Structure 1
Amino acid sequence: MIGQEFQPENFKKFIAKGEMPKAVDDTWINIWEQDENLNRKYTYDFELYGANCNKGTDSEVEIFVAVK
């Protein structure tokens, strides 16, 4: 396991739900479609693959997007 520390930021959280990796791809497409309204900071975004990331159609991955 590799850890990474980040400077404090404000993030908007999105949850990708469904079959992976399609659910993550679809969620990113949704994020990009909202780009104009999100007030993104473009510093760094990250995805969190937790205990529920590999449960078939019930999978979930959290996506955090830096915002101003």
Structure 2
Amino acid sequence: MEKAINGCVQVEKQGNYVSITSEELDGCDVLGIMLFSVVSIAKSEGIDLRQIHQIIDALDQRLELEECEQKYD
């Protein structure tokens, strides 16, 4: 089963604050894309995935997901 995902995800970091803004995507799509990206970067950089798991566990209470309002032309 294939599912097309159309939209954008914007990640902004200011100090220790991380903001994730999604446009035309739901929260599950955004989290899936972010997790896939983190694992891909970790594997390409030789980072142990157990370390990524520990980092995600430490950050899960500090991440804020903001959904954009849909823009219509």
TM-score, normalization by structure 2: 0.37
Give the number of the structure whose residues are more often helix, by fraction: 2
Quick check: which has more Rg, 1 or 2?
Answer: 2
